[in-house]
């Protein structure tokens, strides 16, 4: 695995449904992820550790909701 020592920019293949323009994703040294709309200057940044924590919490919430729905269905069929 290679350490991140310089900026890496990539543009998404298609724009998200809520935005007209494609996104530019930037991996920055110092473990930072940045995103902006193509053609705009405003950049949103987040640390990779914070992003990972958000993703894990989101997945836990989704898993808990799924289990609760399954329990609800089992209780209804009894």
pLDDT tens, residue by residue, 41-66: 999 999 999 999 999 999 999 999 99
Q: What pLDDT is stored for residue 67 in this prediction?
A: 97
- Length of the chain measured in residues: 78
Decide if 56 is inside a domain: yes
Give the torsion through C-alpha atoms of 77, 61, 27, 29, to 10 deg. Answer: -150
Decide if 37 is inside a domain: yes
Decide if 69 is inside a domain: yes
Residue 27 in 3-state DSSP? strand
For 31-71, give the secondary structure using H, E and C. CEEEEEECCCCCCEEEEHHHHHHHHHHHHHHHHHHHHHHHH
Q: What pLDDT is stored for residue 77 in this prediction?
A: 85
Decide if 3 is inside a domain: no
Decide if 66 is inside a domain: yes
- Its domain, for residue 54, covers 8-77
Decide if 1 is inside a domain: no
pTM above 0.85, yes or no: no
> Facing residues of 11 across strands?
24
Q: What pLDDT is stored for residue 73 in this prediction?
A: 92
Q: What pLDDT is stored for residue 7 in this prediction?
A: 95
Decide if 64 is inside a domain: yes
- Domain tally, the chain: 1
């Amino acid at each position: 695995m290679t350490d991140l020592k310089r900026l890496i920019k990539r543009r998404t293949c298609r724009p998200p449904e809520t935005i007209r323009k494609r996104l530019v994703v930037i991996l920055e040294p110092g473990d930072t992820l940045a995103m902006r709309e193509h053609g705009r200057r405003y950049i949103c940044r987040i640390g990779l550790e914070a992003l990972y924590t958000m993703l894990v919490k989101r997945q836990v919430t989704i898993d808990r909701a799924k289990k609760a729905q399954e329990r609800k269905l089992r209780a209804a069929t009894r």
